[in-house]
Amino acid sequence: MRRKILFQFIALMLLSGCQGDSADSAVPLPTAPPATSPVSDLVAAEQVARAFLDAWLAGDFATMHGLLTFRNRELTPFDDFQAYYESAQNRMWLEELEYHPHTLSGDGGVLKFHYDMTFYTRVPGAFTDANRLLHLVLDPQVGGWRVAWSEADVFAELGQGAALLFEAQVPGRANIYDRNGRALADQNGRVVRVLVNNERIPDREACYQVLSEILDKSLTDIVELFELRSGADWLVEAGILEPDAFIKSNDRIKLDCGAEFRQKPTRRYNEGELMPHVLGHVGYPDADQIAQLQAIGFNAETIIGKAGIEASMNDTLAGRPGGRLSLVGSDGRRVRVLSDVSSRAPESLWLTIDADLQAEIMRLLESAYEREGWAEESDGASVVMMDVTNGEILALVSYPSYDANIINPFPTIGREQARRALEELANDERTPQLNRATQGAYPTGSVMKGLSALAALESGIYDEATRFTCIGSWNYGGDVRYDWLLGGHGVMSVQSGITNSCNPFFYEVGFRLNAVDPGLLPSWAHTMGLGQLTGINLLPEEAGNIPTPDNVERSTGLPWSYAHSVNLSIGQGEVQASPLQMLRMYAAIANGGYLLRPQLVRERGILDQRTPMAERDVMRDAKLDPANLAIIRRGMCDVINTYSGTAAHQFTYSPLLEIGVCGKTGTAQVPEPAKPPHSWFIAYAPAKEPKIAIVTMVETVGEGSAVAAPLTRDILEYYFFGADTISP
């Protein structure tokens, strides 16, 4: 604890041997000690004063109490003494003290110790109470100096009947907007605070009963709130009423409790189902969060971010409390202001997400599920779009969604309706609260072939001229694996292998990479960000899994073999990745090999005073050979632009052909044999100067070319040309 005790005290009196007035013969001193008190008594008094204040600094109330006069200790038992100090310190949010002694004055058996005290508090800040007095008397009961204590020794005005009052200034929570300024979360919801003056309750028993009934709290909790946790003269916030409940019950509460009512703004999510996985929700703090909140001026009733952007950016959105600490007379008049600190204004956030694009993607998914009847087979889907030049996330959709408003403590749709919706959400086997875009971990199927091609080219084992004849199957020592196209694709290169998504070509890639080095393909997967977090930070995510010789043997007890590498080359086996991971990898293929940190918050600030947040953050430069990237890009562009491309038939009449779209289909088998495969499609556009990349992943509905590809086409048509151009 900081202690700064500077004391300029008494010099010894030099007494002359001559007759006369001793005051005339004394050397001038900074203090005027009593003529009748010997110097030894003054030193002893000083020691008692210092010991008392030192004990206060240390929070040692027992020592403080022991230094009081016998009469003080009789009148103010230790428990009351300690409670008085702790109550005062709690009201001012005290953290530590520092005192600066000045002089000792007085005469006879009463002395005054003059000093300044600086109070360091969490919320009101630091303030100094100057020219304080500590009274000391010679106590015959103990035969020495003791502190003649009163409430005035905390603050002078307290000895005159005043009370400490802290008036908190808690800022309202700031808004969240999309990149174009569309309000996504605001404080325009309304509830009513029920305030009751604890010393002016007309009928206490009836009041407790009606509050218990209306606020849905136990009678024990109500009694504890008023009689144990609140002072006798406090204005107690008994609880919160929703508007409908207020209209029905305010007369009863006012009659029995003499209550006052004040409106309170609450969190509201406009279009609550649009992006709950991104925005998250707010709520009361958990028990292990309360101490940290109290340390900065909030309390256990503070509404904080509990998930998503609301939680990860809570400090920005919530600001910091300020307040005024005053001494107030019994008549309510403010006697003295000890400290007045402004709150730190909360800052709004502008996301990188385009809400209109997000809404259109959600509409397209809902329409497809309803039209195609996918809900019988598929639990959900996800779509993410990223700016490949800077990592900004333009859309992040996880389907099915849910209304974030139902999780708020004061739901704008009403508590009863919210309760029913929460029950439905908890019982929904599709797990709508799972953010499938960042937390979903899936086999990747053929979208992994872009990585396998990259590893083959960058390792030098393959080049542009390498050829492989695809006869429809691949065989090694009796291990026969088949192509998705009966009869095969004929002679394939790396480029055409991507375009045709030829399985035997990539079986051979995985086999040959493994023969050179079993860790080669897994190593390139890690280089391109798979099997690890993307760094999005503001949202929870799964790292997924890339099988390696080490972790396969550790988890299964079986040695690594060529089969693991062959499976990995086409995104099957033990491989697990999130849609965001795969998108980030393909964005790197589009932008020249830079793995970017996905960005969700574009700006923060107040009104027009904004600070950019979404700065381009290159987490890794994979240092890829431009010639090798060109081969992979041509193969992806041909997926859409050539007759043999696996998604060409989905883009035949699309205006997207004018700007050029390059992509890769993926069909990933799932462990359950009766289930259809996951459907993947990843694309970037425009072809010549890539700006955006997009991933669409639909769980257990069929092939990537049949499901995810047309959905992606419709989304890109909306993004580049508007809603009226979406293909029929």
Q: Are residues 120 and 186 in the same domain?
A: no
Mean pLDDT of 601-628: 95
Q: Are strands 110-121 and 594-596 parallel, antiparallel or unpaired?
A: unpaired
Note whether residue 581 is domain-resident: yes
What confidence tens digit (pLDDT) does each residue in 593-608 have? 999 999 999 999 998 8
Q: Are residues 207 and 89 in the same domain?
A: no
Residue type for position 555: S
What confidence tens digit (pLDDT) does each residue in 669-700 have? 998 888 999 999 999 999 999 999 999 999 99
pLDDT of the residue at 713: 98
Note whether residue 395 is domain-resident: no
Mean pLDDT of 63-87: 96
Nearest to 277 by CA among 401, 428, 189: 401
Mean pLDDT of 439-462: 98
Instruction: Compute the Cα dihedral for 67, 70, 74, 75 and give only its sign.
Output: negative
Q: Are residues 555 and 651 in the same domain?
A: yes
Between 123 and 145, residue with greater pLDDT = 145
Could you tell me the CATH number of the domain that includes residue 45?
3.10.450.100
Least confidently predicted of 37-41, 303-307, 691-695, 716-720: 37-41
pLDDT of the residue at 133: 96
**Three-state SS for 386?**
strand
Contacts of 58 (CB under 8 A, 6+ apart): 1
Mean pLDDT of 490-517: 98
DSSP state of 442: B
Contacts of 331 (CB under 8 A, 6+ apart): none
Q: How confident is the model at residue 38 (pLDDT cuts 50, 70, 90)?
A: low
**Three-state SS for 41?**
helix
Of the three residues 351, 380, 404, the one that is the final residue of a domain is 351
CA separation for the pair 175, 309 (Å, rounded): 11
Neighbouring-strand partners of residue 385: 395, 694
Structural domain boundaries, residue 575 = 445-725
Q: What are phi and psi of 470, to 5 degrees?
A: -95, 110
CA separation for the pair 122, 321 (Å, rounded): 10
CA separation for the pair 110, 97 (Å, rounded): 26
Mean pLDDT of 369-394: 96
pLDDT of the residue at 727: 56
Res 8 pLDDT > 60: no
Note whether residue 212 is domain-resident: yes
CA-to-CA dists, residue 636 to 445, 491, 499, 644, 663, angstroms: 16, 18, 6, 12, 5
Mean pLDDT of 441-460: 98
Please report where in the chains the tokens 């008094």 appear, as a residue: 45
pLDDT of the residue at 6: 32
pLDDT of the residue at 4: 35
Tokens matching residue 179: 């990149």
Could you tell me the CATH number of the domain that includes residue 303?
3.90.1310.10
CA separation for the pair 204, 200 (Å, rounded): 9
Buried b / exposed e across 440-449, counting CB within 10 Å, b at 16+?
A: bbbbbbbbbb
Note whether residue 3 is domain-resident: no
Tokens matching residue 550: 């080490």
Q: What does the angle CA 424 – CA 430 – CA 436 come to, to the nearest 5 degrees?
A: 120
Q: What is the pTM of this model?
A: 0.82
CA separation for the pair 114, 69 (Å, rounded): 19
Q: Are strands 110-121 and 94-107 parallel, antiparallel or unpaired?
A: antiparallel
Contacts of 394 (CB under 8 A, 6+ apart): 179, 352, 353, 354, 357, 385, 386, 387, 692, 719
Nearest to 31 by CA among 104, 126, 132, 94: 104
CA separation for the pair 236, 259 (Å, rounded): 10
CA separation for the pair 380, 625 (Å, rounded): 37
Q: Are residues 147 and 226 in the same domain?
A: no
The span from the first CA to the last CA of the chain, in angstroms, equals 73
Least confidently predicted of 64-78, 238-252, 569-583: 238-252
Mean pLDDT of 158-183: 92
CA-to-CA dists, residue 140 to 69, 314, 343, angstroms: 9, 60, 51
Res 505 pLDDT > 50: yes
Q: What does the angle CA 187 – CA 188 – CA 190 come to, to the nearest 5 degrees?
A: 100
Q: Are residues 653 and 697 in the same domain?
A: yes
Note whether residue 166 is domain-resident: no
Q: Are residues 188 and 157 in the same domain?
A: no
**Three-state SS for 156?**
helix
Q: How many domains does the chain have?
A: 3
Between 199 and 372, residue with greater pLDDT = 372
Q: Tell me what the pLDDT averaged over the chain comes to.
A: 91
Alpha helix segments (H runs only) across 76-193 = 78-91
Contacts of 560 (CB under 8 A, 6+ apart): 518, 548, 549, 552, 553
pLDDT of the residue at 39: 64
Res 18 pLDDT > 80: no
Q: Are residues 588 and 685 in the same domain?
A: yes
% residues pLDDT > 70 (the chain): 94
Q: What are phi and psi of 160, to 5 degrees?
A: -110, 15
pLDDT of the residue at 725: 65
Mean pLDDT of 473-487: 94
Q: Are strands 381-387 and 393-399 parallel, antiparallel or unpaired?
A: antiparallel
Mean pLDDT of 184-190: 89
CA separation for the pair 199, 313 (Å, rounded): 41
Q: Are residues 211 and 151 in the same domain?
A: no
Tokens matching residue 100: 């600066």
CA separation for the pair 400, 602 (Å, rounded): 26
Whether 531 and 544 have beta carbons less than 8 Å apart is answered as: yes
Of the three residues 351, 367, 384, the one that is the final residue of a domain is 351
Q: Are residues 144 and 186 in the same domain?
A: no
Cis omega (within 30 of 0) for bond into 400? yes
Q: Are residues 72 and 201 in the same domain?
A: no
Nearest to 284 by CA among 435, 410, 192: 410
Mean pLDDT of 615-630: 97
Rg (CA), the chain: 37
Least confidently predicted of 230-234, 276-280, 306-310, 678-682: 230-234
CA separation for the pair 240, 109 (Å, rounded): 57
Of the three residues 134, 161, 188, the one that is the final residue of a domain is 161
Between 600 and 324, residue with greater pLDDT = 600
